[in-house]
Structures are given as structure tokens and as C-alpha cells.
Structure 1
Amino acid sequence: MNTMQRLELRQGQSLTMTPQLVQSIKLLQLSHAELAAFVEAELERNPLLQEGEVPADAPVPSLADFLRAKQKAEAAGPRAIPGPPPSRTDPGQAATGQAAGAGHSELKPEMGDRLAQAVSLSEHLEAQLDLATADPKLRLLGEHLIHALDETGYLVEDLAELAARLGVTPGEAESALRLIQGFEPSGVGARNLAECLAIQLRERDRLDPAMQALLSHLHLVARQDFAALRKVCGVDQEDLADMLAEIRRLEPKPGLAFTPASVDVLVPDILVRTAPDGSFHVELNPDTLPRILLNRSYYTEVAKVVRRDEDRSFLSDCLQTASWLTRSLDQRARTILKVAAEIVSQQEEFFRRGVSALRPMTLRSVAEAIGMHESTVSRVAANKAIGTERGTHPMKFFFSAATGEGEHSAKAVSYRIRQLIAAEKPDDVLSDEAIAQKLKSDGVQVARRTVAKYREALRIPSSADRRRKYRIKA
């Protein structure tokens, strides 16, 4: 065989991931809050970008303004697009019955101010400490103990180790802790759950020997071993029920009353409204869209007077970046709208009847319907929300796999299971098999094991546990 080396020229096409293409992909998956932060930074960096419409009588910035903007951009460092947080919920595994307001979003200013003004647990306890004792050593020791409490109000550090670190005796540390345990909220300063409940019962004058025995055997309460509890406490069934009811009225984590609750307001990126003819109108939320324009008149004026090569290079970079950003934002908006319109089309029955009418829908089915890649649809669905007449839901809420036995959405089946259990009567608790039969009568073919799997995912106890709880309440 005759071999020889030779040069050949071949033409071909390939997709190159340019830096601007990578940035465009990142822009697609940002939430509106992250996008607003990025656009605001670009407005500060790029003098050719203008927020909103440029007034006709607006003065044209001078060369000095351009040079100041150049210095500010150089001081800001290289441009970077923030990466979005990891998705909390997989489209095929999202829990059914999510609250309409669940998700990431901006905190409204008035809510943030209200939370910022709340008194913390340590401040509340220190105010009581100032009134409780005038002994400087005891007050100093009490302050250390207060700051050693966790957010639930428990002392998580070993008291003996804390006393050794502060150079006091264990007895002095114990006295200071007893002082703290007498403060409000009742139960604060406890070292474990039993001590927390005991403090609250003692203040109510309900800590009798039987209750002390019950607190010493909380593991039996967790196992719901009522026969053993009656034996160790020396009480009958009626007295035990009263004691358990008393414990349920206590606060196991007293410090959480001073921890501001996480307030998330889910702002929709897409609005879905019902038209007069019964169809659905899908539009972008104008409140979440950044409005920026390329100020070409500014570019024209500056280009006439700029002289230095480095200034010309910066001006050219600003023009290129501004053009890219305006195009990318427009493409991002059209892509989101296209994906959202297909979601509404495939899940039309949800918008008419609710969660029980959710259909199985995957990223691939949406991507094939609109001629996009599956990864693009995934990026669009990340960190976005759709506002409907039935509440605001994360976009990934509408994606759900089908059940193994039929063409029903797993979320719709889970929602129906939750409804059936919520409507059951104490004397007619539904077993998993009974739930499967009720679903079958509604046209939903699911096996008993599938019902059990969805029920466990919803954190709903078994029929035996629910029946036992009904008996306890009775």
C-alpha cells in the first residue's frame, strides 16, 4: 500500500460558544431580580445605555461625562453575569399543593422594614436581665448565657464547659441559667426538650410526679406506646389523654417567636388572563422587564470629538456591548413568552379547573412543540413564575411526570390523594387500597403501592397512624 502525506482544505460549519453567546445563555436563566441587578450595573458601567425612553429635550452628555464613565467602568473591573441559584425543585419531583407564594423573589420594602424593626430574642432577654439583678458578675454571666442560646431559645453549649471558659464555678453558672429560665418566653434557656416543657409546666403549677414521669419518657410519647406510658406514670387512660393534651399546648421552641419569619413574595414574570371568548391571553409582566435603550445620538456626538486610541476602543466596546445587551434582552423576553404560551396551551385545563386537572408535561414535550432545545426550555423554566387567576406558581410547577399506570399527572394524583384524606371522617379512615379504589372510580388507574408512595411524599401518616390520632383526640 502506497502512503504519502498531503495537505487538504475542507469547508465545514460548527457552532462556537463565543463569550457573548455564553452570557446570553446565562441571562436566560436569571430571575428578574438578578437580571435587574445586572442591568443596573451595566447602566452604571456603559454610558451609551439609557434607562427608558430618552426625552427629546434631554441634554446630550459631553466628552467629560464620557471620560468619567470610562474611569468608573475601569474601576468596576471586568464584567460578570451572576450565576443563578441551584433549582430547589426538580420538574418531575416537585411536591404537589405548593403554596402559591412559595419560591424565591424580592422582599417588598415595607415588609423588610417591619422585620428589621423586630426585637431579637437576645435583646428581649437582656432587657429583662437589666431589671432582674444589679449584681455585675451575675449580669455579665447572664449576658454570656443569653448569647449562647440558639434561635429556638435552647442552650446548646455544655454548661460546665461554658463555666470553665468564663472562669466561674458550675454552681454560679447554674444560678445564672436558672435566672434566665425564669424570663419570658417561658421555656427559654432549656438544655433539652424535657427541661423546656418542665419549665412551662412548673409556671402553670402542673408539674406533678406523674407529669415528671411522662417528661422522662418522651421517647414513649414519640412511639405512641400509651400502655407503657400509663404504667410508668401510674395513671389511667383518661388522665394520660389529659396530660398529653396539656403537653401539646406548650411551646417546644419558645425562641422562634422572636425569629422573623421568612417572607417570600413571588413576583410573576408571565401573566395569564382569561379573554372574553374564554381563551387565555399570555403576556410578559411589564413590572419585571428591564427597559434600556442604546443612546445612538450620544455615541455619534462622542465619536466626533474623541481622539485617543484607548478612548476610541472603549467607545467601540461600549457600543458593541450595548447592542448585544439590548438584543439579548429582547431575545430573552421572546423566548420566555414562547415557552410560557406553550405551557398554557398544554395545561389549559389547569387554568380552567385547578391542580386536579394538571396533565403530564415534560421539558422535552414543550421543547419539541416549539422547536427549541430541551436545555433552553430548562433555563427558561428556572427562577421564573407564572401569575394566574388561581395564584402565582413557579414555572417548574407545571412540569410533572405521568403516573406509572396511566396518563395522569403525578401532581394531580397527589393533590387528589390529599383531598380524599383531608375529607375523611374519624370513624371512616381511608386505607391506601380504599384511596386507590376511589381514584379508580374517578378514572385514575393507580396501584395501592403508588398511593402509598405519593402519600409518604406528602408526609401524610398511614391509615393506622391517622386512626390512632383520631382516637387520641376523641
Structure 2
Amino acid sequence: MALGHRLELRQGQGLVITPQLQQAIKLLQLSNLELDAFVEAELERNPLLQREDGPVEAERAPDEIERPTENLGLDAVSDSAASGQMDATPDDVSPGERATGDGAEAGAEQAGGQIDWSRTGGGGNFESDDNYEGALSRPPTLVEHLTQQLAVAGLSPAQNVVAGVLIDAVDETGYLRADIAEVAERLGCALDFVEGVLTVLQGFEPAGVMARDVRECLALQLKDVNRYDPCMAALLDNLDLLAKRDMAALRKLCGVDDEDLREMVAEIRALTPRPGAAFHSDPPQTLVPDVHVRETPGGLWHVELNTDTLPRVLVDQRYHARVSKGARTDQEKTFVSDSFATANWLVKSLDQRAKTILKVSSEIVRQQDGFLAYGVEHLRPLNLKTVADAIGMHESTVSRVTSNKYIATPRGVFELKYFFTSAIQATEGGEAHSAASVRHKIKGLVEAERTEADVHSDDRIVEILKDSGVDIARRTVAKYREALRIPSSVERRRLIKETA
């Protein structure tokens, strides 16, 4: 067979994922907080984008929201325009359209004027800082508390350096989350030296701080009250037996009688496994749902988007027309056209994202109306393909939409992925059961146990579930029980016996 060169023309179809399409796909899986941060960055980068600050009625769909057009001051986007070397004079902007941001301050400095820091929010005026008084009255954090004690500990400069590194590695619960061997290697000092500094820090308040695990944390607290002895050490070395309530094994290992063991266990329970929890930390962010579901008087379920989580931006058409006329060079014209195209794309992508979330959420509510009406026992098996086929989308799109999105229902706030559960076959060919509803039934059976005779083994739970129409294997029951953190039947009997 001879080899040779030749030219051929072939025609075919293919999907090209442009950067804008990739970005649109990325927007689908962002949470409301991540989306807000992304939009905020785009607002700073693109001078033709403007945030709509007006109130929006919750009952109106996203595509029905009125978007009034307002002007942006030229100075507000001077930094972005400077990247494109746009020439604009102050005469092009009316006094009412001038901004008070960084661009306005720069212009005032170039003009030799004075800047009113109380109006621009600059430093030097504590009265303009609403959080100044709150910062003074804020209780210290755990790191600040440890740093204050370090200042009066009388350590050498080298020890202070090591101590500062170790304190920075403490989490909000008070545990040391750094490997001291890695710290010693990074700082170029001996391991014994770092351990000596750690011993000093473990003597700081609160007792138990700077521990590397729960056992060491409890031991430090017992040493602080002079209650750490060989019996206590043996008990702390076998916390797994204490969790299983194997008192017979603990009595043998600790060498004590029943009364002494009960007192030792009571002392352990009086300690705190989170010594840093009492100190100030950043308050947890409130979970804001992306979708609301409410029942209408006719018994139907109404699904609507939470407009508070939807960034509302618009393209400033009048400002675009103004700067387009002022663009002189090809670089300036390219900058304006690219900014305009990006702004239009972002507005359309946000609108499409909102519609997609609403469409997927509405289908999930339609599929799981039994859960909303009667509870978790009526949660149906559901997968991505069922929803995707119903709304005419791809499974990957549904997966991205349901990631990091939450829906507020009369039964609480749930992640959209919560409603996708595997199916457990029913006996005698009945309708399949949701795995979540089966877990709920197992939890209910265990919670109903009051005496030792009431405790159900995994085999007994399988029999009860099969009698109720659920065809399930014993290993599946054991897996669900462990996922619910329910101890075995032996441990539950022992617990009931001790508490009786």
C-alpha cells in the first residue's frame, strides 16, 4: 500500500464550548452567596453593569421584573476605563452623575481640591465607622485570649515565635490542628523545643486548650484540678469502651469497683470536649433558601423564587451610548464593545439561571407532593433522569441546578438534592419505597424502644419492614442504622439497663 499526501474536506457537526458557555454552566451550580460574590466582581470590572437597588415584588416572576435604566457616573468607572485608555473629560458628566468612589477622590487630588473624608468613607473619622463601637465592645476571640496570655508568659523571643505559630493553628473549638513535627521542620528548630513550648501553651486558660485530640483535652482538664491519676489515665485510654458502655471491661482495666467507676465517669461527663467554644467567633451565616413553597387555598403547591437571593443587574444603555461616542482608538472601541457584550451576556445568564431553578424546583415539588402533605414517610424514590426527562433538560443540568440550592417548605428548609433518593423494592410487586422514608421508619422503631424486651435486632427490623411492604436486606438495615448513628441492639439493651 503506497503512502502519500492528499487534501480532503470533511463536513461534520460538533459542540464547541465557548468561554461564555462555560461560565454560564458554572453559574448554575453556584450558591446564592457565591453568585453574589461573582456578580459583585463583575460590577467592579465592567463599567456598563449597574446594580438595581429598587425593591422587587416577591409575587412576580424574574422575567417580569421591571428594570429601570439609570446612569452611572463616569468617575465611578474611571479605573475600568483606564485599562482601555478611554479619554473622557469631566464636561461629559453632569454634576448629579459624579460618583464619590476612588475615581472621584483621584480626580479631586489631581485637581488640587480637598477631599471630605467624612463623605467618602475614608480613614481618620471614627464617627463614620458604624462598627467602631461594636469592635471595642466585642469579646475577645480564642486566639486573642491566648495571645494576651502569651504576652505575660515570660518566654524567650525564639519561644514566642514558635508559640505564635502554634496559636495560629488553633481552631475555634480549642484544638491544635498542626503537626508539631512539621512546625519544627518549617521553623528549623528541634522537635523537643516545639514540644516544650506546646507544654507551656497547654497550661493557658481555658483548661484543655491546645490539645491534639479528645483524650489529651480531657487529660489536661483533669490535671488542672489535680484529678489525673493512673485510674483516670486508663479510663481515658479506653474511651471507646466508655462509648459502648462496657463497664465490666472498664472496671477490669482501671482496677476500681462499681462506685469508683461511676464517680470517674461522672467526672469525665462534667468536662468539656470543646474548651474554645465559649469564646467569640464569627456568627454562622443564616441559610437563605433559593425557592419558597407554600400551599394555596385550593390544596395546590405554589413555587416561587426568593428574589432576595437573585442579584439584580442591568446594562446601562445610555452610558454605553455616551462612552461609545467618546471612544477614539481601536483599543477603546474594543474595550467598550467587549464590556457591552459581557454585560448583556451576564444579564441573560442570570435570567436563564433563575428560570431553570424555578423549572427544576417546580418539577421536584410536583414529584414529592406527598412529602409536603404527609411527611417523610411519603417521600418517593426520585433520580435526576426522571426530573430531566420531565422538563426536557440534561441530567447534568439538573445536577448542577440542585447543587447548593435550598428550598423552604412548610416542613422546613431542605437542599434540593435531599429529594433525590434511591428506591427500595416493595414486597409483592407494590410501589417502591424511598430510602429516606425507610430510614425514618427504622429510626421510629428504635425510638419506640422503652425496655430491654422492646429492643429490636437488625433481623427483627427486617421482619417488621417486610410486614409493612418493604423488601430490604439485613445488611441494608445495618447500613442505615449506622448512618443514623444508632448503636447495635446489644448496646441499646445495655444502655436501657443502666438508665433503668
TM-score of the pair, normalised by structure 1: 0.74
> 1:471 — aligned with what?
497
The secondary structure found in structure 2 opposite 1:307 is coil
Match of 1:290 among 297, 301, 311: 311
- The aligned counterpart of 1:389 is 410
Identity %: 51
* Corresponding position of 2:460: 434
Matches within 5 A, 1:65-464: 69-72=80-83, 117-128=138-149, 136-137=154-155, 148=166, 150-151=170-171, 153=174, 157=180, 165=189, 173=196, 177=199, 181=203, 183-188=204-209, 196-201=217-222, 204=225, 206-207=227-228, 210-211=231-232, 214-215=235-236, 221=242, 225-258=246-279, 260=281, 263-404=284-425, 407-427=432-452, 428-464=454-490
Letter in 1 for 2:17: M
Question: Letter of the aligned partner of 2:416 in structure 1?
Answer: M
Q: Deviations over 1:266-314 (max 9, x none)?
A: 2111111111111111111111112122222333344344333332222
- Is the alpha carbon distance of 1:139 and 1:370 closer, same or farther for their aligned partners in structure 2, counting shifts above 3 Å? same
Q: Distance in 2 between matches of 1:229 and 1:241?
A: 11
Residue 261 of structure 1, CA deviation: 7.6
State whether residues 293 and 302 of structure 2, in contact with CA within 8 Å, keep that contact through their aligned partners in structure 1: yes
* SS of residue paired to 1:297: helix
Per the TM alignment, residue 33 of structure 1 is displaced from its structure 2 partner at its CA by 1.9
State the shift of 1:461 in Å.
1.5
1:20 aligns with 2:41: no
Deviations 1:302-351, CA, capped at 9 Å, x for gaps: 43443333322222222322222222222111111111110000011111
Q: Shift of residue 7 of structure 1?
A: 8.6
1:418, CA displacement in angstroms?
2.0
In structure 1, list runs of 5 or more residues that go unmatched: 76-108
User: Cα offset for 1:403?
Assistant: 1.8
Asked whether the 8 Å contact 1:142–1:180 carries over to 2, the reply is no
Greater relative contact order structure (CA < 8 Å, 6+ sep): 1
Deviation of the 1:180 alpha carbon: 5.2
What amino acid is aligned across from residue 314 of structure 2 in structure 1?
L
Displacement after TM superposition at 1:361 (Å): 0.6
Query: What number of residue pairs does the alignment pair up?
Result: 425
Tell me, yes or no, if the aligned pair for 2:424 and 2:470 is still in contact at 8 Å: no
Shift of 1:128: 4.8
SS at match of 2:251: helix
Q: Are the counterparts in 1 of residues 360 and 401 from structure 2 also a CA contact under 8 Å?
A: yes
Instruction: Say which is worse superposed, 375-384 or 66-75, in terms of deviation.
Output: 66-75
In 2 relative to 1, CA 180–464 (structure 1 residues): closer, same or farther, beyond 3 Å? closer
Higher mean displacement: 226-235 or 450-459: 226-235
Deviations 1:405-448 (A, max 9, x none): 56111112112222322332142222112323333344333233
Distance 1:443 1:298, change over 3 A: same
Q: What SS is found at the alignment partner of 1:265?
A: coil
Residues of 1 paired with 2:491 and 2:191: CA distance? 51
Secondary structure (helix, strand or coil) at the match of 1:148 reads: helix
Deviation, 1:206, is 4.7
Residues 1:430 and 1:38: Cα distance change in structure 2 (over 3 Å): same
Distance in structure 1 (CA, Å) of the matches to 2:22 and 2:191: 59
The answer as to whether partners of 1:129 and 1:139 remain within 8 angstroms in 2 is no
C-alpha deviation, 1:359, in angstroms: 0.8
Q: CA deviation at 1:203?
A: 5.1
Distance 2:235 2:227 in 1: 12
Q: Find the residue that maps to 2:433 and give its secondary structure.
A: coil
After TM superposition, the score normalised by the length of structure 2 is 0.71
AA aligned opposite 1:419: G
In structure 2, do the counterparts of structure 1 residues 139 and 251 end up closer, same or farther at CA, with 3 Å as the change threshold? farther
Residue 87 of structure 1 corresponds to which residue in structure 2? Answer: none
SS, match of residue 16 in structure 1: coil
- Residue pair 1:196, 1:252 contacting (<8 A) in 2 also: yes
Structure 1, 382-391 or 209-218: larger mean CA deviation: 209-218
Cα distance in 1, alignment partners of residues 68 and 78 from structure 2: 23
Could you tell me which residue of structure 1 aligns to residue 127 of structure 2?
Answer: none
Contact 2:363 2:390 in 1 (8 A): yes
Contact 2:51–2:312, Cα closer than 8 Å, also in 1: yes
1:6/1:437 CA distance change after superposition, 3 Å: same
8 A Cα contact 2:140 2:279, kept in partner: yes
Distance 1:362 1:166, change over 3 A: closer
Q: Give 2:42's aligned residue.
A: 42
- Going from structure 1 to structure 2, the CA distance change for 1:167 and 1:372 (only over 3 Å counts) comes to closer
Distance 2:341 2:222 in 1: 71
